[in-house]
A and B are shown apart, each in its own frame.
Chain A
Amino acid sequence: MKRYILNSFIAAAILFTAACKPEIETPAGSTAGQANFSKYIAVGNSLTSGYADGGLYLEGQKVAYPNLIAAKMATVGGGAFTSPFFTEEHSNGSGYLALTALVNGTPTLTPVADKLAYRDAAKHLDKYSGEVQNLGIPGMRLDLSFDPTLTFSAANPFFERLLADAQVGKTNYFQFIQGRNHTFFSLWLGNNDVLGYALNGAVAVTGDPTTTLTDKVTFASLYTNMLNVLTANGQKGIVATIPDVTAIPYFNTVTVPALLAAAKAINPAATAVYIQTGTGTVRAATSEDLIRLPFQSAGLFGQGTIPYGLHPLNPIANNWVLDKDEVIKIKDYVNSYNSSIKSLATSKGLAIADTYDYFNQVKTGLNIQGVGINAAFISGGAFSLDGIHLTPRGNAVIANVFIEAINSKYGATIPTVDITQYRGVKFPN
């Protein structure tokens, strides 16, 4: 009898144990707050589209920050979110760069050439018809959104693929995003208004509108027009500031000290790296002058009878370099754009994702949920292999910056994204 009691006691204890899980309450509950997420549209450029590793491809599209946000919005009344995904057969889209070797820290990047989505020799991409809510278009600029010539809709293959044949060359982005009956929007646009110029070494190419710097006053005025249309029916939304483009790996991987060290390893007599500045002056470079990432694999440095970049008579050409003064100029434009963005958004009562501020923290380095993230090329985890766009992990981190800003502005409780479920750069095995 006593043994029976004892056995029951133990059996009861084990059953009890199996049943009792610890619970963690969420005080705020589940709510959209003052916002309505039933139809969310994302307006923007390559970052919004999910462009990564120098291309637009399906894996990147699926983890674009608006798609991650939309998936989480679903728990607080968000509706379906459609994106112009490439098909599985053509999942590599425009093609992209893969890291195929890493020897002593020197990467080999190889273009992926299979499963591409080009439909003709002129490199037009597979068309996508049907409802689209991720409206991000790689290369889109604020000024070109209002392209009066309407030609950019034909010139940009990522835009062209979203248009019916009859519309190609007959519309611009500002018209394209309208009439979509959205209830909520995000707007992260304007990066290319300064980045296009910076990526070309601060050289505006005549006849190429993607390399110009948008005038500050024009920027504010066009941004106003954009917001007026997006909030025409009182919709709520979020805008994002423009990151300091000089802080990305594209401009911070090939550094002047690293070049000089490499030169000295071959010729100890090397004393300086020479550059041609934006004003045409030739001078010794300092660590304040930034060299573009592709210079690493351009095969120019130290070549020739007068070694390239190591002699005042054969300096690194202006378009490879953001010299100190160009950096200052670019930072000034970014700051001006951002102050316009913030004051316009504030006057319209919109949430602001301060990605400018956030990427400055990334540059210093942060630890998020056990993952160290910084702006280093390849190893930093946030930036993809083009040194400009984000990895899936970087997209997840930025999605949370948006989500937290939306929640805080509108009293919503969109759950955050678990960034640990998203990868950084893939390393060759």
Chain B
Amino acid sequence: MKKILLSVLLSAPLWVLGQGFQVNLQGQKQIGMAGAGSALALDEASVFYNPGAVTFLEKNSVSAGVNPLLFKSAFKQSGSDITENVKNKIAPPFEFYAVWGPKSNKWKLGLGVYTPFGGLVDWGDNWSGRYALTSLNLKAIYFQPTLSIKITDRIGIGAGFVYNHGEVNLQRALPVNFPDGHSGHATLEGTGKGYGWNAGLYIKTLSNISFALVHKSKVVTKLDNGSAGFDVPKSLTGAFPAGNTFNAELPLPATTSLGVGIPLSQSTTLAFDASWVQWHVYQDLTFNYAQPVNGSSQTKSARNYRDGSSFKLGINHQASEKLALRAGVGYAFSPVQDGYVTPEAPDADRYILSAGLGYTPTSHFEVNASFFFEDVKSRKQKNIETGLDGTFKTLVYAPGISLTYKW
């Protein structure tokens, strides 16, 4: 096992990413540990982190949580003395879980509703990169019914079917000017759906060190009949027809994770997760239009993402019967190659820091809170397609809270 882990670590620079549009906020306990915990049967969020561990949960439970996320990105054009910031907009990644199974039986059912991918950036209509992008609002909501089965007292497997409801709203300015000088504007908006699965294996060794292997499949989200609106001077409406629609495909990548859980003492547990995010599926962002736009029925923007990876280490300490404290650190390698960084995902390698606490006033109720921070490294880039040339720097803050009822 150590050898496998070691080889995973060594090969990491060859992979990539971690992030892009991935949102790693699916359970307050795990978030408090930087997103590690696939090898711990911590709570109902295992429906997402490892379906194989769900059957080892002692109680039935339902929980709901939210992590208001602030994505604070800044841009400075090369040679400029002006730093521009995205508007303060709060994205609401949320999670809902339910786990039920007859007591001391070998199986449990689970349901998860969560937001594993998304993006909310609004640079405003007047920033220096507005002809590349003014705003993006992307949401993917996964619905995942799950079955988890104990094969032995120490081995569990689980799998769930994933239905994705996706929404996208992408806007940019067009470099054509109205008589008063203001620019044209394009808005692409649509909803789509996709399917996938999530399966996991959970092994608890005799030494109580636990292992996890989890694969979440790619989910190709198809957007059909989205609206393609172009606000241009009337003399150009021939080239930018009104009432146009588009079809597009957004592939959300598969993630394979290896997890280890190590009990340090009766009250303290260490968790480590290594994830390989198969972002290579995102080669281009293509919109096919029902009516040609400015002479072409398609706009195709190369993305050429590589695969990415992330490494997360977390600790969970039960300070008292009622109070748990958590902390975590992590690092993620960006899937975005040089020349392909865009303002919709101004991605770079990033550090992750987190903290959390849990409070259990009664045997039925639990409150968990977390704070998640990401420092995305500064990255100077000239985009090959748009020529947008400058430095991006991003900080991500996400406080979160969840409530759980157990029985």
Contact = CB atoms under 8 A, between A and B. Distances in A.
Interface of A: 2, 6, 9-10, 13-14, 16-18, 20-24, 26, 30, 75, 99, 101-104, 366-372, 381, 393, 400, 403-404, 407, 415-416, 418, 420-421, 423-429
B81 A415 contact: yes
B175 A372 contact: yes
B141 interface: no
Interface of B: 70, 72-83, 85, 88, 128-132, 172-173, 175-179, 181, 183, 232-236, 238, 322-323, 357, 359, 361, 367, 369, 371, 378, 385-389, 391, 393-395, 397, 399, 401
B82 A418 contact: yes
Contact of B236 (A24, A102, A367, A407): A102
B338 to A, nearest CB: 17
Contact of A424 (B175, B322, B391): B175
Nearest to B181: A423
Contacts of B131: 369-371, 420
9 contacts: A10-B369, A10-B399, A13-B371, A13-B399, A17-B397, A369-B389, A420-B131, A421-B128, A423-B183
Contacts of B85: 21-22
A202 B88 CA distance: 59
A22 B393 CA distance: 6
Q: What is the predominant secondary structure among interface residues of chain A facing chain B?
A: mixed
B176 A424 contact: yes
Task: Please name the 7 residue pairs, one residue from A and one from B, whose CB atoms are nearest each other, closest first.
Answer: A370-B131, A367-B387, A416-B79, A370-B132, A427-B233, A415-B81, A13-B399
Given A24-B378, A371-B131, 13 more contacts: A2-B323, A21-B72, A24-B75, A75-B81, A102-B236, A371-B175, A400-B79, A416-B79, A421-B128, A424-B177, A425-B177, A427-B235, A428-B235
Given A367-B386, A369-B131, A30 B81 contact: yes
A429 B234 contact: yes
Nearest to A415: B81
A112 B220 CA distance: 54
B341 to A, nearest CB: 13
Nearest to B172: A370
A24 B70 contact: no
A369 B128 contact: yes
Contacts of A428: 179, 233-235
Contacts of B75: 24
A425 B391 CA distance: 29
Contacts of A418: 77, 80, 82, 128
Contacts of A101: 235
A369 B378 contact: no
Given A425-B177, A427-B236, A370 B388 contact: yes
